[in-house]
Structure 1
Amino acid sequence: MSFIPYLPMRRFIRPLTIAALALPLAFQAAAETVNQRLPASVAKALQANKIESDALSVVLLPLNASAAPTFINADISINPASTMKLVTTYAALELLGPNHQWKTEFYADGPIENGTLNGNLYLKGGGDPKLNMEKLWLLLRDLRANGVETVTGDLVLDRSHFLQPDLPEFDDDGNDQNKPFLVSPDSLLVNLKALRFIARNNDGKVNVLVEPPIATVRIDNRIEALPKAKCPGWPDIRYNPIEEADGVRVVVTGKLPAGCSGQTYLSLLDHQRYAAGAVRAIWQELGGSILGQDRVATVPDSARMIARAWSPDLVEIIRDINKYSNNTMAKQLFLSLGAEFRNEADPDDAMAAQRVIRQWLAKKGLISPHLVIENGSGLSRDERISAREMASLLQAAWKSPFAAEFISSMPVAALDGTMRKRLHNTGVAGKAHIKTGTLNNVRAIAGYSRDSDGNTWAVVAILNHPRPWGASSVLDQVLVSLYNQRSESTAQR
Structure 2
Amino acid sequence: MKPTIKQALLSLWLCAGAANAALPVDVESALAKAGVPASALAAAILPVDGGPAVLLENATRPMNPASTMKLVTTWSALNLLGPAYSWKTQLLSDTPVANGVLNGPLYLRGSGDPKLTFERMWLLVRELRAAGVSEIRGDLVLDRSAFRLPVSTSAFDDDSDEAGQPYLVTPDALVSNFGSVRLMLRSDGSTVRATLEPALDALRLDSSVKLAAGASCAGWKDGVQLRLDDAGQSARVSVAGRFPADCAGDRYFAVLDARSYTASLFRSLWQEQGGRFSGQVRDGVTPPQARLLATSISPPLTEAVRDINKFSNNLMARQLFLTLGATSPDPAGDTAAAADARVRGWLQQQGLNMAELHLENGAGLSRVERISAEHLGRMLVSAYRSPLAPEFISSLPIVGIDGTMKKRLKDEAGAAHIKTGTLKDVRAVAGYVRDQQGRDWVVVALLNHPKAPGAMPVLDALLRWVATRSSTEIAALRH
Compute the TM-score of the two structures, normalised by the length of structure 2.
0.91
How do 1:352-371 and structure 2 match up within 5 A? 352-371=338-357
Mapped partners of 1:413, 1:362: distance in 2: 31
Q: Of residues 57, 61, 70 in structure 2, which corresponds to 1:76?
A: 61
Q: Of residues 146, 151, 159 in structure 1, which corresponds to 2:136?
A: 151
**Distance of aligned partners of 1:433 and 1:445 in 2 relative to their CA distance in 1, 3 Å threshold:** same
Greater helix fraction, Structure 1 or Structure 2: 2
Q: Provide the secondary structure at the position in 2 that maps to 1:395.
A: helix
Q: Does 1:347 align with 2:333?
A: yes
Amino acid at match of 1:430: G
The corresponding residue for 2:463 is 479
The corresponding residue for 2:155 is 169
Amino acid at match of 1:480: R
Contact 2:103 2:136 in 1 (8 A): yes
The number of aligned residues is: 460
Q: Of residues 372, 376, 384 in structure 1, which corresponds to 2:370?
A: 384
Mapped partners of 2:297, 2:340: distance in 1: 26
The corresponding residue for 2:208 is 222
Mapped partners of 2:472, 2:363: distance in 1: 36
Cα displacement (A) at 1:232: 2.3
**Distance of aligned partners of 1:439 and 1:447 in 2 relative to their CA distance in 1, 3 Å threshold:** same
Mapped partners of 2:19, 2:153: distance in 1: 40
Q: Does 1:267 align with 2:251?
A: no
Mapped partners of 2:288, 2:471: distance in 1: 69
The corresponding residue for 1:184 is 170
Contact 1:108 1:303 in 2 (8 A): yes
The corresponding residue for 1:201 is 187
Cα displacement (A) at 1:106: 0.2
**Distance of aligned partners of 1:150 and 1:461 in 2 relative to their CA distance in 1, 3 Å threshold:** same
Q: Provide the secondary structure at the position in 2 that maps to 1:412.
A: coil
Q: Does 1:61 align with 2:52?
A: no
Q: Does 1:425 align with 2:411?
A: yes
Which blocks of at least 5 consecutive residues in structure 2 are unaligned? 1-12
Mapped partners of 2:449, 2:220: distance in 1: 30
Cα displacement (A) at 1:145: 1.0
Contact 1:49 1:469 in 2 (8 A): no
Q: What is the CA deviation profile of residues 302-323 of structure 1, one whole-angstrom value per residue up to 9, with x for unaligned ones?
A: 3211111111111001101000
The corresponding residue for 2:400 is 414
Mapped partners of 2:18, 2:64: distance in 1: 28
Contact 2:64 2:426 in 1 (8 A): yes
Q: Provide the secondary structure at the position in 2 that maps to 1:341.
A: coil
**Distance of aligned partners of 1:234 and 1:389 in 2 relative to their CA distance in 1, 3 Å threshold:** farther
Q: Provide the secondary structure at the position in 1 that maps to 2:354.
A: coil
Contact 1:481 1:488 in 2 (8 A): no
The corresponding residue for 1:458 is 442
Contact 2:425 2:453 in 1 (8 A): no
Contact 1:33 1:69 in 2 (8 A): no
Mapped partners of 2:32, 2:436: distance in 1: 26
Q: Provide the secondary structure at the position in 2 that maps to 1:187.
A: coil
**Distance of aligned partners of 1:34 and 1:343 in 2 relative to their CA distance in 1, 3 Å threshold:** farther
Mapped partners of 2:129, 2:19: distance in 1: 65
Cα displacement (A) at 1:367: 1.4
Mapped partners of 2:41, 2:177: distance in 1: 37
Mapped partners of 1:50, 1:104: distance in 2: 50
Q: What is the CA deviation profile of residues 355-398 of structure 1, one whole-angstrom value per residue up to 9, with x for unaligned ones?
A: 11111111111111111011100000110000001001101111
The corresponding residue for 2:283 is 296
Amino acid at match of 2:28: A
Q: What is the CA deviation profile of residues 423-456 of structure 1, one whole-angstrom value per residue up to 9, with x for unaligned ones?
A: 0123xx1121100000010000001110111100
Mapped partners of 1:338, 1:34: distance in 2: 42
Contact 2:430 2:444 in 1 (8 A): yes
Mapped partners of 2:471, 2:107: distance in 1: 65
Which blocks of at least 5 consecutive residues in structure 1 are unaligned? 1-27
Mapped partners of 2:261, 2:51: distance in 1: 55
Mapped partners of 2:325, 2:51: distance in 1: 39
Percentage of pairs with the same residue: 46
Cα displacement (A) at 1:36: 2.1
Moved more, 213-222 or 159-168: 159-168
**Distance of aligned partners of 1:68 and 1:270 in 2 relative to their CA distance in 1, 3 Å threshold:** closer
**Distance of aligned partners of 1:355 and 1:300 in 2 relative to their CA distance in 1, 3 Å threshold:** same
Q: What is the CA deviation profile of residues 251-286 of structure 1, one whole-angstrom value per residue up to 9, with x for unaligned ones?
A: 111111211122111111111110011011111121
The corresponding residue for 1:88 is 73
Mapped partners of 1:227, 1:471: distance in 2: 40
Structure 1: which 4+ aligned runs deviate by more than 3 Å? 31-35, 64-68, 165-168, 174-177, 243-246, 486-490
Contact 2:65 2:371 in 1 (8 A): yes
Q: Provide the secondary structure at the position in 1 that maps to 2:397.
A: coil
Cα displacement (A) at 1:203: 2.8
Contact 1:231 1:260 in 2 (8 A): yes
Amino acid at match of 2:450: P
Q: What is the CA deviation profile of residues 195-254 of structure 1, one whole-angstrom value per residue up to 9, with x for unaligned ones?
A: 111111133211111111011211111111122543124432111112458721111111
**Distance of aligned partners of 1:481 and 1:67 in 2 relative to their CA distance in 1, 3 Å threshold:** farther
Q: Provide the secondary structure at the position in 2 that maps to 1:232.
A: helix
The corresponding residue for 1:136 is 121
Mapped partners of 2:392, 2:230: distance in 1: 42
Moved more, 221-230 or 152-161: 221-230
Q: Of residues 377, 381, 402 in structure 2, which corresponds to 1:395?
A: 381
**Distance of aligned partners of 1:194 and 1:442 in 2 relative to their CA distance in 1, 3 Å threshold:** same
Contact 2:220 2:243 in 1 (8 A): no
Compute the TM-score of the two structures, normalised by the length of structure 1.
0.89
Q: Provide the secondary structure at the position in 1 that maps to 2:60.
A: coil
> What do you get for the CA RMSD once the two structures are aligned?
2.3
The corresponding residue for 1:44 is 29
Contact 1:65 1:455 in 2 (8 A): no
Cα displacement (A) at 1:469: 3.1
Q: Of residues 299, 309, 319 in structure 1, which corresponds to 2:296?
A: 309
Cα displacement (A) at 1:32: 9.5
Cα displacement (A) at 1:342: 4.8
